[in-house]
Amino acid sequence: MNVEDFVPTLDFARKLDNEDALSGFRDEFFIKPDSIYMDGNSLGLLSKRAERALLDTIEAWKEYGIDGWTKGKQPWFFLSEKLGEMTAPLIGAAREEVIACSSTTTNLHQLIATFYKPTGSRTKILADGLNFPSDIYALKSQLQLHGHDPDAHLICVRSRDGRFIEEDDIIEAMTDDVALVILPTVLYRSGQVLDMKRLTAEAHKRNILIGFDACHSIGAIPHSFSEWDVDFAYWCNYKYLNGGPGAVGGLYVNRKHFEVSPGLAGWFGSNKEKQFDLEHTFTPAETAAAYQIGTPHVLSLAPLIGSLEMFAEAGIENIRLKSLQLTRYLMKLIEHELTDLDFVVGNPQEDSRRGGHVSLEHDEAARICKALKENGIVPDFRAPNIIRLAPVALYNTFEEVWKVVQVLKVIMSEKQYEKFANERDIVA
């Protein structure tokens, strides 16, 4: 059965679930009874394997103490490299091009410090006006550290409609004074997937390096970073990859840049054979591991061991296929049930341009999100008017998607949202 054979019934949703090849992975997760979790694009759910991996790591600490760095099932000294190898298939990279380390923004600072080399008139950084604020903060601070005024040297490509960014507009902004381009793979509000292959090729035609923030795509869509010749990328591991709150992030560096010294050097970026020589001359690793800074947060790395095992078994192409089916089904239900209630779908309709969530717009979005929570559904709010709903391939079902839309219909018909203030909570 195909989502395109759409019928707006619970029976149709259940038939889709019965034919779902990934349905068995739902049992791997801790699913709260009488609750529907649609916020996996902000924080993924805990899996039983992730819990086991964390407990195994704690047990190794208990058993080995400091010897846990080199003993046990997953010696900590090599854990970041191991997780980089496990992550590499999700982004289309060689294992030595990927490392699990630091946080998203710290990794961005590292990559800008490494690859932003302003020379002559080529001093500007190109970004987009819809990017997540933390990226913009980092870019501005790096420009200031180089003695440049962010107002003059950070170019932010504007959206034509407040939702999407046109690749043509980005390419037009790749002028001779641009030294570096930083863009998201997926826009965090609208879920638009940028054409990374095309943008990389156009940047390189102009001798501009380009990197991507993959926070809202890794674990939801396939990438081919090495094939596309992307220079670098960075991401968090707590959204679709279910690594847990504050999970250690990750970065990718194209092998052609391995000889570039890290802009921010630290002892865990050392060649492993030299690291404990404790010399004051830094000898970097000959892989992406060189861009680590400090000692890895082992307990925040551990859950990824179990999580990434599941991704290897499920296959990112299969995950993408089901994700597209879930979001397509959700959009069809919204069109059938909610269009007369002032809801607007604010994400791309085309599969090739849509990430892992549906961006549902409404003037009362903040209040509606609170009403959804009162009804046992966990959504995500983004100011000023967006309800993000992320049906995640490994643990959400088509029946859950159907129920979410029915609840939304009841909330609106009964005006349940009116009891709440139309403003976000502290954490949106």
DSSP annotation of 19 reads: T
Q: Is 352 annotated as a binding residue?
A: no
Q: What is the residue-wise DSSP string for 181-250?
A: EEEESB-TTT-BBP-HHHHHHHHHHTT-EEEEE-TTTTTTS---HHHHT--EEEE-SSSTT---TT---E
Q: What is the residue-wise DSSP string for 338-350?
A: TGGGT-EE-S-SS
Q: Is 106 annotated as a binding residue?
A: no
265 conformational bin, left if phi > 0, alpha if psi -120 to 50, beta if neither: beta
Q: Is 280 annotated as a binding residue?
A: no
Q: Is 123 annotated as a binding residue?
A: no
Name the burial class of residue 9, with classes exposed (0-12), middle (13-18) and buried (19+) by CB atoms within 10 angstroms of its CB.
exposed
Backbone angles phi, psi at 323, to 5 degrees: -60, -45
Q: Which residues contact 353 (CB under 8 A, 6 or more apart)?
A: 192, 193
The helix (run of H) or strand (run of E) holding residue 299 is helix 298-314
Contact at 8 Å (CB) between 359 and 189?
A: yes
Contact at 8 Å (CB) between 13 and 401?
A: yes
C-beta neighbour count of 172 within 10 angstroms:
11
Q: Is 87 annotated as a binding residue?
A: no
Q: Is 104 annotated as a binding residue?
A: yes
Q: Is 267 annotated as a binding residue?
A: yes
Q: Is 80 annotated as a binding residue?
A: no
Strands 377-378 and 36-37: parallel
The C-alpha atoms of residue 265 and residue 262 are separated, in whole angstroms, by 6
The C-alpha atoms of residue 72 and residue 298 are separated, in whole angstroms, by 13
Q: Is 8 annotated as a binding residue?
A: no
Structure token pair of residue 339: 């269009």
Structure token pair of residue 99: 């490392």
CA angle 254/255/261 to nearest 5° reads 90
Structure token pair of residue 274: 């030299």
Q: Is 420 annotated as a binding residue?
A: no
**Residues comprising the binding site?**
104-105, 132-135, 213, 216, 238, 267, 295
**Residues comprising the binding site for pyridoxal 5'-phosphate?**
104-105, 132-135, 213, 216, 238, 267, 295
